[in-house]
Structure 1
Amino acid sequence: MSAAPDFAARRFQSAAAHYLAGRAPYPPALIARVVELLQLEPDDRVMDLGCGPAQLAVGFAPYVGEVLALDPEPAMLELAREAASQVPNVEVVQAGSQDIGAHLGRFRAAVIGRAFHWMDRAETLRRFDGLLEPDGAVVLFGDERPKLPENAWLQHYSELIERFSADDEDRQRRRSEAFAPHMSVLLHSPFSRLERASVVTSRELGVDGLVQRALSQSSTSRARLGAQADEMVAELRAKAPAWSPTGRFTEVLFSNALIARRPVAD
Structure 2
Amino acid sequence: MSLFTGTPSYYRQYRPGIPDDLAARLATYVPDRQPCSLLDVGTGTGLVAEAMMPFFTDIIACDNDPDMIATAEQALRPKVPQGAALSLVTSTAEDLRPPTGWKADLVTICRAFHWLDQVAVLHLLDSQVAEGGAVAVFSNRSFWAAESDWKAAVKQVIKGFLGEERRAGTRTFQHHNRPYSEIMEESPFSQVEEFTVPVIRTWNTASIHGYLYSTSFAAPALFGDRLEEFETTVHKTLRGFSRDDTYHETNEFLVRIGRRSA
Superposition map of 1:1-266 within 5 A: 9-39=1-31, 41-86=33-78, 87=80, 88-101=84-97, 103=99, 105-144=102-141, 151-163=148-160, 164=162, 166-167=164-165, 170=168, 172-175=172-175, 179-264=177-262
- Cα shift at 1:189: 1.4
The change in CA–CA distance for 1:216 and 1:40 in structure 2 (over 3 A counts) is: farther
Whole-angstrom CA distance in 1 between matches of 2:5 and 2:44: 11
The change in CA–CA distance for 1:28 and 1:184 in structure 2 (over 3 A counts) is: same
Gaps of 5+ in 2: none
Aligned to 1:200, the other structure's residue is in SS state: strand
Aligned to 2:4, the other structure's residue is in SS state: helix
CA RMSD of aligned residues (A): 2.4
TM-score scaled by structure 2? 0.86
Whole-angstrom CA distance in 2 between matches of 1:184 and 1:232: 39
Gaps of 5+ in 1: 1-8
Cα distance per residue 1:138-167 (max 9 Å; x no partner): 111211379xxx944222233333443534
Whole-angstrom CA distance in 2 between matches of 1:198 and 1:187: 18
The change in CA–CA distance for 1:42 and 1:235 in structure 2 (over 3 A counts) is: farther
The change in CA–CA distance for 1:40 and 1:112 in structure 2 (over 3 A counts) is: farther
2:107–2:134 Cα contact (<8 Å) kept: yes
TM-score scaled by structure 1? 0.85
The change in CA–CA distance for 1:99 and 1:79 in structure 2 (over 3 A counts) is: same
Identify, as 1 or 2, the structure richer in helix: 1
Whole-angstrom CA distance in 2 between matches of 1:75 and 1:203: 27
